[in-house]
Each structure stands twice: as C-alpha cells, then as structure tokens.
Amino acid sequence: MPARLIINGKKADRPDVRDAVRRLRREGHALEVRVTWERGDAARLVSEAAREGVERVIAGGGDGSVNEIANGLMAVDPATRPALGILPLGTANDFATACGVPTDPAAALALAVTGTPVPVDLVRANDAYFVNVASGGFGAAVTADTPVELKNFLGGGAYTIMGLLKAINFRPYACAIRTPQGAVEGGVVIGAICNGRQAGGGQPLAPHALIDDGLLDVVFLRPFPVASAPQVAAEIAGRATTATFVVRLEVPWIELEAREPLPINLDGEPIAESRVRFAVAPGCLRMVLPADCPCLS
C-alpha cells in the first residue's frame, strides 16, 4: 500500500514540499497526499487511511500536527494501526528536531517513506495522548530581567517567574502529586512531564529523555522567594550541589490532583483538569526515525 502524507493545510502550498512529493513519485514510491483544514480532519483522515489498509501515514506540520495524528492513530486497532512518519513543517518542530529528523523536506519525506519503523512510547493524559511534552503552570510574557536559565527551563520565553513572584496576587498551584516513588510535597510554580527532550523552540527540558524506555522524565519547580533566584537558576542549569527548588524524577506514571483545574498543555494543546494521570504507553506506536536517533535507547 502507498504511504499517505497528511499535511496541515497552511503548509500544503509550499513549493519545496510539492517538489519533494514529486521527486519520490518519480523514484517509484507510491505516495498519496491528504490535506487538513480544520480540527478533526486529521483524526478522520487517519481513520480513513487505516480502513483502506495504508501501512504508513506521515504527519506534515508542526508538533501540534504530530500530536493530532498520533492521537488519531491511537484510536485505531493496534492490529491495523499504521506507522507514523514525520515531515516537520512547523515553527518549532521540537520533537522531530530532538529525534534528528531532517529539516529539509526532501530528506525528511524520503526518510518517512523509506525508513524502518520502530516502537516508541507515547504518554496518556487521562483520555488524550501526547508525543513530546506536557507542561503546566502560569502563563505571561517573559520580562527582560528573567535569568536566562529560567527562560530556558520554561521553554522558549512563554512564561515569566520573576514578574509574577513580585506581584501581590501571585499564588503557586497547590496540588497533590503522586508517583510510584511516593508523594511530592509542596506547591508547584511550573512543571514539565516529558517523553521527548525539548519544547518551546529548542529549549531542553529533559536532555537525557528516551522515547522507548517506558519512563517519564518529570521536572517541577517549587515556589521560591525572589532572593533564591540565583539558587534556582543554578539548579536548573545543573550547577547546584543540592536541589531545593527543582524536582527531577524518572517514573512510569504520575498523578496531579488539585481543588481547581490546572492549566496544562499537551504538545501545545490546552486542557484544564483538576485531576490528571500521566502514564507511559510503552511501545504503543511504530514511528519512522533516523537510524541514529539520539532519543532511542
């Protein structure tokens, strides 16, 4: 059966993508193309591909497109579930970049069509899955005086700690955190639950994470006084001898429970839940990645 490229409609007119498709077809590869225009299209097209016996679908877009197509694949019976290739066309492409997927469309598409699929983990968050990173906490504009280590920790300048800590109404999120290693005490300013390694446009959150080890790499930042900002920055950068404010764990599952909904995003897709269980789904999806992918064990 031919491979099927499911491409974000905003990227479908790119000349380099069209050239890459034509080149593969000239080389004798059967490659079909479907285009998404609105929410729900990707899941529908994945379901259609599985029904028609397509053995490989390719997500053409950014991290959000990869997430949407991966969720569509997880709704397919494992016996007929196609493998997933990636054509990175987004702004950040964090998951693909960390995995070493080529940025050149021709090279990426050739890999997606001809490469060998390998089993990888996804993470289930209640009823949804994510491929790369789930993050949670407060959102605001990053101020110029925020230490660079904090900006890196928070992923691409989407958040500010320093300004909010100085605000009178700042309140960390109080939630119960449970893991197989026991409870994590204290409130949370922001956190990341990682399957992949980076988010926010190349910011490393879990630089040693593997996508086939059956484990989540979890990072939490506890509330801290402004005077402790240098210590926090040192902990995030890995320079501190003791960890007071930054918690790092490797666990197969973690549960968060709060009295009010927690703002969380899964590969950029927002959810708000007062209780979330994150659990690894080991080896649940076959994915086409480079043979030397650094995120594979």
Per residue in 7-29, pLDDT tens?
999 999 999 999 999 999 999 99
| Residue 21, domain member (yes or no) | yes
Residue 208: what pLDDT?
Answer: 92
> Is residue 18 domain-shared with residue 88, that is, in the same domain?
yes
How far is the C-alpha of 13 from the C-alpha of 142, rounded, in Å?
Answer: 34
Q: 0.85 cut: is pTM over it?
A: yes
Query: Number of folded domains in the chain?
Result: 2
**pLDDT confidence of residue 18:** 97
For every residue of 189-249, DSSP letters joined together read SEEEEESSSEETTTEESSTT--TTSS-EEEEEE----GGGHHHHHHHHHT--SS-SSEEEE
CATH number of the domain at 199, please. 2.60.200.40
- Asked if 98 and 8 sit in the same domain, the reply is yes
Residues 55 and 188 in one domain: no
Looking at residue 138, its pLDDT comes to: 47
Same domain (yes/no): 81, 142: no
In a domain, 243, yes or no: yes
Same domain, 16 and 96: yes
Q: Is 288 part of any domain?
A: no
> Which pair of tokens denotes residue 122?
């996804």
52 labelled catalytic: no
Q: Which of 68, 260, 269, 273 is catalytic?
A: 269
Is 184 a member of any domain? yes
Residue whose token pair is 């879990």: 206
Structural domain includes residue 293: no
Q: Which of 115, 149, 174 is the last residue of a domain?
A: 115
Regions of the chain short of the pLDDT cut 70: 137-172, 237
Q: Domain limits at 140?
A: 133-282
**Residues whose CB is less than 8 angstroms from the CB of residue 96 and which lie 6 or more positions away in sequence, other chains included:** 63, 66, 86, 88, 108
In a domain, residue 122? The reply is: no
CATH of the domain at 41: 3.40.50.10330
Please give the pLDDT value at position 58. Answer: 99
Rounded distance between C-alpha atoms, residue 116 and residue 3, angstroms: 13
- Asked whether the beta carbons of 49 and 84 are under 8 A apart, the reply is no
CA pair distance 66, 226, nearest whole angstrom: 38
Identify which of 74, 135, 82, 138 has the alpha carbon closest to the alpha carbon of residue 112: 82
